[in-house]
């Protein structure tokens, strides 16, 4: 599929890298030739230097041939204008990155309609939503949701002494009555789709699927359940902090924001009158302690510097803050943060890229099935997809035990009439089902791809 990306900053380059890996023909537009030279040195893509909202730049990029046009510059307005012009010039689908909180849901809906946008994506809002979900389910380090929240996959790390370690998975299913499936395990650098004889060890990162109530039931039964974070300290007063604080306050949580910039503090105080906003340097450990770091339920580090976020998060962890969430955008630093013991590391650019890869796959779908949701899990070493099953899916109504699945594939869940099913051998896939598939780094475009 021919795709054009305007803007090759951190988010644009991440999107470009993932779409190239997916096998798409990608052309990059940026007004900085040095940035494009760097892109050319790393990726096999075409580039055009110029303004993404300029008619002649888009004409040189042959925008009329683009099946998908993505504007991901730092300017919301430029992204919208670029998409509008691209659509008028013949691009089939257009997606704009729009981050400003002033563009609320109502205005975004109007803009999408008037500009002909296929989608407007706010990576900061998506990141804040993921952080909020973790604060509401603090034993997890990552939570992904399918089909209107009726089914979830959570990642958690097993500690020494956990009731889940040293036990075969088949025995866990027999011992605990909750309906769940441990569908993937990361141990060191290896990822496993485990069978019933697999024995979990301390330090394993596991992926567990179930409906939300069953997850809570299971966590309580194994003694892993933590209380929800009621008092949250946020370091940094940017857009993600605003979206997260607003959502937390609406849910009745106490929020304290520490921000070094005085103007940002005034803006946050006006927009969030129920939040406590402190003007100060959160890198000063004494300030964090004075403001009650030792007594909060959660600490979220959202400054603009990855290194600062990591170091201050480590400091918060040493003060036994129950839940610590760290924003890290650079991939090499994200891996370092995990090795240093930070469990909840979130990257807004990766979240946005996942959404766009999902959208691109949906455009490529055959008539047999449809990718509705796609997530990268286990630090990008595995993928979980939700498919809609059509009436002409060739392997419908066949017991799962009789399907010849490809290696590295697991049917992790079935959602039928909004009710989740943890599948066993005699279960079948029916038309209009939603099927959750887990795969080890295999690109699936349609549900039929799971069969040998």
Predicted pLDDT of residue 367: 41
For helices 123-136 and 239-250, the axis angle rounded to 10 degrees is: 40
Q: How many CA atoms lie within 13 A of 412 on its CB side?
A: 29
- Contact between 152 and 143 under an 8 Å Cβ cutoff? The reply is yes
pLDDT surpasses 60 at 366: no
Predicted pLDDT of residue 363: 81
Predicted pLDDT of residue 369: 46
Residue 194 is encoded by which pair of tokens? 């485990």
- Say what the pTM is: 0.86
pLDDT surpasses 50 at 368: no
- CA dihedral 209→215→217→223, nearest 10 degrees, is 100
Q: How many angstroms separate the CA atoms of 297 and 422, rounded?
A: 33
Q: How many CA atoms lie within 13 A of 324 on its CB side?
A: 24
Task: Please name each of the domains of the chain with its CATH number.
Answer: 2-121 (3.40.50.720), 128-221 (3.30.70.1450), 231-346 (3.40.50.720), 351-450 (3.30.70.1450)
Residues 282-320: pLDDT tens digits?
999 999 999 999 999 999 999 999 999 999 999 999 999
* Average pLDDT, rounded, for the chain: 91
Predicted pLDDT of residue 124: 93
Residues 99-146: pLDDT tens digits?
888 876 677 788 888 889 999 999 999 999 999 999 988 888 888 888
Q: Cα-atom radius of gyration of the chain, to the nearest Å? A: 23
DSSP string for 405-441:
BPTTEEEEEEEETTEEE---TT-B--TT-EEEEEESS
Residue 124 is encoded by which pair of tokens? 């900061």
Name every residue whose Cβ is closer than 8 Å to that of residue 282 and which is 6 or more positions away in sequence: 235, 236, 258, 259, 260, 288, 303, 312
Whole-angstrom CA distances from 310 to 128, 294, 326, 334 are 18, 18, 7, 9
């Amino acid at each position: 599929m021919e795709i054009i990306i305007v803007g090759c900053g951190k988010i644009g380059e991440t999107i470009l890298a993932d779409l190239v890996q997916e096998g798409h023909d990608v052309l990059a537009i940026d007004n900085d030739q040095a940035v494009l030279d760097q892109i050319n040195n790393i990726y096999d893509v075409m580039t055009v230097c110029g303004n993404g909202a300029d008619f002649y730049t888009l004409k040189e990029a042959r925008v009329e041939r683009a099946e998908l046009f993505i504007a991901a510059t730092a300017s919301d307005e430029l992204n919208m204008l670029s998409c509008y012009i691209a659509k008028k010039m013949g691009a089939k689908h257009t997606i704009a990155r729009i981050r400003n909180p002033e563009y609320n849901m109502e205005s975004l809906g109007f803009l999408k309609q008037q500009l002909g946008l296929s989608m407007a994506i706010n990576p900061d809002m998506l990141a804040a939503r993921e952080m909020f979900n973790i604060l509401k389910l603090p034993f997890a380090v990552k939570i992904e949701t399918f089909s209107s929240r009726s089914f979830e996959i959570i990642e958690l790390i097993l500690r020494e002494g956990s009731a889940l370690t040293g036990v075969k998975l088949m025995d866990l299913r027999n011992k605990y009555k909750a309906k769940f499936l441990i569908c993937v395990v990361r141990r060191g650098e290896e990822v496993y789709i485990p069978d019933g004889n697999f024995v979990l060890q301390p330090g394993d990162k596991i992926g567990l699927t179930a409906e939300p109530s069953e997850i809570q039931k299971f966590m309580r039964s194994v003694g892993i359940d933590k209380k929800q974070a009621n008092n949250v300290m946020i370091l940094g007063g940017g857009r993600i902090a605003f979206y997260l604080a607003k959502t937390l306050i609406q849910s009745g949580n106490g929020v304290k924001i520490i921000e070094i910039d005085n103007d940002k503090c005034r803006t946050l105080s006006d927009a969030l009158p129920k939040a406590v906003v402190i003007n100060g340097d959160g890198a000063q450990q004494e300030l964090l302690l004075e403001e009650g770091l030792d007594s909060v339920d959660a600490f979220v580090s959202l400054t603009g510097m990855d290194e600062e976020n990591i170091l201050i998060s480590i400091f918060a962890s040493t003060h036994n803050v129950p839940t610590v969430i760290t924003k890290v955008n650079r991939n090499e630093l994200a891996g370092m943060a995990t090795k240093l013991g930070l469990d909840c590391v979130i990257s807004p650019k990766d979240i946005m890229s996942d959404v766009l890869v999902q959208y691109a796959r949906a455009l490529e779908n055959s008539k047999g099935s449809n990718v509705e949701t796609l997530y990268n899990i286990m630090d990008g070493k595995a993928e979980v997809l939700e498919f809609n099953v059509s009436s002409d899916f060739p392997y419908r109504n066949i017991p799962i035990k009789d399907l010849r699945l490809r290696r590295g594939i697991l049917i992790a869940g079935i959602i039928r009439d909004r009710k989740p099913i943890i599948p066993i051998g005699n279960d079948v896939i029916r038309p209009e089902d939603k099927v959750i598939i887990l795969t080890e780094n295999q690109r699936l475009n349609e549900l039929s791809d799971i069969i040998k």
